[in-house]
Structure 1
Amino acid sequence: MTESFRQPQGGGSLIVAWQARARSVLVVGGGPVAAGRVFNALEADARVTVVAPVLCAELEHRAAAEQIAWHARRFEDGDLDAADMVLSAIGDAQESRRIADLCRQRRVPVNVADINDLCDFWFMSTHRDHAVQIAVSTNSKAPRLANRIRRQIAAGLPRGIGPAVDQIGRLRKHIREADPAPESSKRRMTWLTQLCDHWPVDQLAALRSDNIDALLDAYVQSRSPQDVRIAPSPSLPPSPSSSAQSLPLQDPNQMAATSPQRRGRLVLVGAGVGDPELLTVRAHAALRSADIVLADKLIPEAVLAIVRCEIYTARKFPGAASEAQDDLNRRALDELARGRCVVRLKQGDPFVYGRGAEEILFFRGHGYEAEVVPGLTSAINGPGLCGIPVTHRGLADQVLILSGANRNGDLPAVPEFAETRTLVILMAVRRLGQVMELLLESRHPPDLPVAIVERAGCADQRTLRGSVSTIAGVVERAGHNAPGLVVAGYVVDVLSDAAIQDRYLDASSLGLHSAES
C-alpha cells in the first residue's frame, strides 16, 4: 500500500536558530550595515571581531566599551583562522567575492551583504521580546515585505508573551531538575502543556519565584496546574473581598464569570479635539464598553454623551492639578481591583502634554498595563479645524509644540525666532502677556501673526487673531473660552479672511482681526 506523505516544495531555506554563544564571528566592514550585523551577533552572545580601517559611530562606541575586538585595517586571509562565521559588509564586490571563496574553501559559513549568490545564509526580519524571537524570511526575494509581515505578526502577539516564556523556561528547568528521569519526559510535557495552553498569558508573565515553587510542588505531587493557587503579586492592589486569600490561575472563561477574581482592564483613551465624530472608532468602542469612565474636567459634553456607564470627573481646582491626578489614580486602582473595565479619558492625545506616559508608568508599577487609544491632538488638528495650516510649502517647514504650564508652573523655554517655524503653545492663554514677552525676548517680530484657537472641534469654536504685540489686548477685550491654544507664525494668515468662512471665525473675531491689522 502506498503511504501518503507530504511532498517537499523546493526553493525554501533551512530555517534554524543557530546557537552562537561564545562562537567567534568575524565582521568585515565598519559602516552602518556592519553595525547591524554586529548587534545581531552580540544579542546571540557571540564573540565579535571587526576588521575595518574606519568605524561608524556605533561601532566606535562598541569598541570603546570592549563589546567587540577591532583591527583597524583591511581584511587579511589569516583573519579566517579563528572564525566560526563571517559577515561581510563592504562595498567592494570583487573583494567580497574573494572573501566568500576563501570561506567556502575553509568551510566557514559566510553572509555577504547585498550579494545573494555569495551567501550561505541570509538575515531575516526579526521581532524579539525577551526569549521570544520571531523571524520572517522571503528567501531574500522581498526583504522589505518581510518587515511588513513581521510587524503584522508581532502586532497579533498576546501582551506579555516574552516575560511569560521566560517564566515558563524557569519552571521547566526546575521541573526537569526535580524529575530528570528519561521515562518522565511525557509526564513533564503533558503537565506543562496544560499550563501553557489554558492559562492567561498575563498571569503567566506575572509569576514570581514563590509562584514557581508552588507550581513545581504541584507537579511533584501530581496535581493539575488548575489546582494551583498563587499569591497575588505585591504590585497588584488586593481585591476588597479577598485581600487575605490566594488567587488561583484561571481559565479566561472562568475569569469572566467570577467577578471577585476577574482582572481589571485599563484603557487610556484620547478624546481628541472635541467633536465626537472625530473620535477614532476604537475610542468610541472603548467608551461604549467601559464599566466606568474617569474623565478630565474639560472633556466636552458631546463626547461624554456617548458614555453609557458611570462617569467620574477629575476634581481639579486652581493650582491643584497634582491632587486631581492623585484622586483619579486612586479611583482607577480601586475600580481595577474590583475587576472592572476602566477607561481613562483624556483631552486630545494622551501623549501630547497629557501625562499619558506618567499614568502608564504609575499603573504599570501597580501591575496593570494600559491599552492606549490615541486621539487627535489639538496642537495639530485644532488650528486646522479653525483654518490655520501649521505647515505650508515655502512658508513654514517646521512645527514646535510648547506647554505654557510646565511641571513646576514655569513658563516655556522659547527658542530664538526662525522665520519658517510655527509655534503652537498649549495651556498658555491665561499667561498670554508673559508668553508674548518671551517671544519678543527671543527676537520674534512684534508684527508676527498670532491666533488664539478656542474650543476647536466644538460647535462654539472660535479664533481670535492679532500679532505678538497686540494679541493680549485682543483677548482681554473679547474674553476667553477655555480650552484654547496659541499659534504664532506666518501660517496664521495663509488663508485670507475671504477664504476663511464663518465656520472658522465668528463676527467678533473677524472685526477684531481687521481692527488690529
Structure 2
Amino acid sequence: MSACASNGNPHVSLLTATDARAHVHLVIGSNPLAAARCTQSLSAGASPVLVAPGEAELHYALRKRVDDGEVKWLREPFRDEHLFALGREEIGHVVDAVFVTSGPREPLSIHISTLCKRHRIPVNVVDAPQLCTFALLSTHVDGPLQIGVTTNGRGCKLASRIRREVAAALPPNLGDACRRLGDARRRIQEEDHLLHAALAADGDDDDSVGQSAAFNRLVTEADLEAAKNRRMRWLSQICEYWPLKRLATITDDDVTDMLKSYEGLGNTGAPSASAESASASSPSSLSSSLPPPAPRIGRIILAGSGPGHPDLLTRATYRALRAADLVLADKLVPAGVLELVPRRTPVHIARKFPGNAEAAQEELLALALEAFQSGKTVLRLKQGDPYVYGRGGEEVAFFARHGARVADGRVVVLPGVTSALAAPLLAGIPPTQRDVADQILVCTGTGKKGRAPDPPEFVPGRTAVFLMALHRVGDLVRELTAHTEAEAGVAGDKPARALWPRDTSCAVVERASCPDQRVIRTTLDRVAEAVEQEGSRPPGLLVVGRACAFLHPLEKGRAWTVEDGFRGLDVGDELADGLWGPAA
C-alpha cells in the first residue's frame, strides 16, 4: 500500500503529455465511445485501428471515418496477437495504446487489461479505473495550449464541468500567446546556438576583414551560457508576472520588441552602444535632456497594490486606478490588481529582467515625468507599500528635483498593505504574541546591487521578516547563525552579535493572498533544503522567530510541511452586506 493510501489521502495520478504522432492506437468495440476514442486518437496525430467483427453494427460517426479512410477497420474479433502485430515496425509491431470500450464486467475487458499490463502496453477500459493504466483527461484545447482535468475516477462529468469553468475564466487568444512566446523561446535558443557555433569557428576568420576593437577580448563559453540564462530567465518572468489578459493580446511585433529590449546588455552581458545611449535618460542627466515644463501640469501618484488579492487594495488606490491617464506598474504587481485598470488606460509594466533593473527604473521615471509635464495623472503602482522596500522615497526625491513635489500636491503617496505584515497573518503567524514575541523587525535579504546586508542579532522575543531573501536563503541562514568574516575581524571589546539558533522556527510565505499561496513551515537549519526541494514561487518572504510555531507547531520528526492555496477573503456577499451594508 502506498504512503498516500495509508494516510487516508486520495490517490493522485502522474499527469503527463504524450506526443502520439504516428502512434498506433488499438480501439476495441463498435459503439459511440469507440467513435469518440478514434476521434481523440486522430486529433492527437495517431493512427487508430478498430477491432470489431465484420457483422458488427458501427456507430454512424465511426462508419463515416472508416469510409473516409481515416480509421482502419480490422473485421474480426479481438485476438491476443493483435497487440503485437498491428503496431509500428520500429518498435517491433507492438501497439502504442489500447482502448477497450466494452463494460468493465466483460471477461474480454479484464483479459485485455491483464495482458496489456503484463506487457506494459498502456490500456484504458471504460468505467473501470482498476483495469486502466492511463486515463483520458477532460481537455480544453486552444492552439498549442491544452488544459486537462481529471478527478481520478471520481466522476468524468464533474471533471468536464470543472474544465468548462476553467476555460471560461481564461482570456481569449491565449493559445496564440503560447505560440508567440514559444517562438520567442525558440529564437533565443537559435541565437545562442549561433553564438556557440561562431565561438567554435573563431579560428576561420577572413584575414582581409578589418578587426574590431574587441577582437582580442576573450569570449568564453561561460560568458555565452550566462547570457543565455539571463535571457531565458527574463522570458520566464514575462510569462510569470504579466496578467494573462495582457499576455493574450501579445503580438508578433511585441515579441520582437521584447527581444530587442534585451539587446542593451549585449550578448555577453557587456553594455552595448544602445545601452550607453540609454544612460542619457538616467536621473542625474534628465534635468538637461527633458523639455521645459508644459503650462498644464499633471499629478504623480505613488500607490501600493498590497500583497496580491485585489480586495486588499485601499479605496484610495482603487480610485487612483480608475482615474489615472497612465499606469506605470512594477513587475510584481499582481495580475488581479492590474485587471481593475480600465481598458482605455495605457499600462506599462517595468521591464526589470536580470541585469536591467536600473535601466528599467530610469525608464519608468522618464515616462512618469513626460506624462506629468503633459498634464496627465500618472499612477506609479508598486507591490505592497511604496515606502517599505519599494524605492518610493527615492522616486519622491527624484520627482521633487524635477518640479513635482508632495508639498505642492503634485505628488501624492498612498499607503498599501505591506506583505511584511500581511503575509505572516495570512499564513497563520501572529508576529506579536504575548509571552512569545513582543517585537517585529522588517529586513531585506538583499542590499543595494545584490550586496548582503548586515544580519540582525537574535532576540528571543523578536519576529524577523525578510523580504527579497528567498533567492539567497542559504547564504542568509549562514549569516544569521554564524559570525561573518567582517565581524570576526573586528578587534576590541565590542560584544559579539547574538546568533540565531539553527532550530529557530521559520516559514516561507509565497504569493500571499493569491489563489496559489504557499506556506512552507520549517526551521532555520532546514529552510534552504526545503526551498530547494519544493521549488520557488515568487514573490515570497521569510518569517523567522518563535511566533512561527505558535499556532502551527511543526510535527515532531517532520523536517517541513507545505500548505497550498488561499481562500481567506471569500466572506460571501451576505456577510459583506451585514458588515458594511448593501453593495452599491
TM-score grouping bracket, smaller chain normalisation:
0.3 to 0.5
Q: Give the structure-1-normalised TM-score.
A: 0.47
Q: Give the structure-2-normalised TM-score.
A: 0.42
